[in-house]
Structure 1
Amino acid sequence: MIRRNQILRLAALSACLTALPLAAGADDASAALSLELNAVAEAEGGCLLTFVAENGHATDIAAAVFETVLMDATGRVERLTLFDFGTLPAGRPRVRQFVVPDLACADLGRVLINGAHLCEAGEPGLAPCAEGLRLGTRTDVEVIG
């Protein structure tokens, strides 16, 4: 039988745990770069990958280039390439499209963002493009990093 003080402790613990993500991560979640694979479509001579990128940092990213690995449905590496996302203004979404030549979209199973190759964002290093990078997809193609 549960006692009244156990119920009160559970309620207090639940309230603390519910508030924890809001207090600890409110700024952290938005202060990151997110890349979402939004669409995959056959294009003349290859596969068109459409990404939505959103820079959640307080400052613009002047240049962002990511080393990207394309894998088939079995996980075999098909190719390693660089995707140049260009300028990503702070707080504003941008759509970037890449045609991958000689690739059938049906053969694409996974996209691995292997890391930032270049990141120019007012502070030295790749941190604004790499730390806290959030990845997602609206397609059947898995995106990992």
Structure 2
Amino acid sequence: MELNKFEDVESGCRSFFLFRNQTETVFAAFEMSLAILDKGGVIDRLLTIDAAPLPAERTTLKLFEIPEIGCADIGEVLLHDITACAPQNEAELDCFPLIDLSSKTSAPLVK
């Protein structure tokens, strides 16, 4: 999962995420909780975002709005939890250990 770009918008900051599913599995559910930290390292807010579906062996672009904060004010994005992760037609599983994180923005994306 890569935080690829930030873009200031009227309502806050738009974030562009790339999800690189290099498995042969389609993920029908993929929901995560992100903590947005300001430049001082203080948690500004928690966001729950739904990135599903994630097709097998594909890179998918997903855009999410981070309301009421400018992009330049974001110091770090923490993957707090993966609240739902389920392959298509299968039971939920713990995807946290499977995720590699990177960021091309000024704010690191960390576990």
Fold in common (TM above 0.5): yes
* Structure with the bigger percentage of strand: 2
* Structure with the bigger percentage of helix: 1
Q: How far apart, in 2, do the equivalents of 1:124 and 1:115 lie?
A: 18
- TM-score by length of structure 2 reads 0.92
2:48 aligns with: 82
1:71 counterpart (37, 57, 63) = 37
Q: How far apart, in 2, do the equivalents of 1:112 and 1:126 lie?
A: 20
Identity across matched positions, percent: 31
Tell which has more relative contact order, 1 or 2 (C-alpha 8 A, sep 6+): 2
Q: Secondary structure at the match of 1:131?
A: helix
1:18 aligns with: none
Equivalenced residues, count: 110
Query: Which aligned runs of 4 or more in structure 1 are off by greater than 3 angstroms?
Result: none
- TM-score by length of structure 1 reads 0.72
2:28 aligns with: 62
- Segments of structure 1 that go 5 or more residues without pairing to the other structure are 1-34
Q: State the shift of 1:132 in Å.
A: 2.2
- Segments of structure 2 that go 5 or more residues without pairing to the other structure are none
**Is the aligned partner of 1:100 residue 2:66?**
yes
Deviations 1:77-113 (A, max 9, x none): 0001101112001110000001111111111010000
For the pair shown, the structure with the greater C-alpha radius of gyration is 1
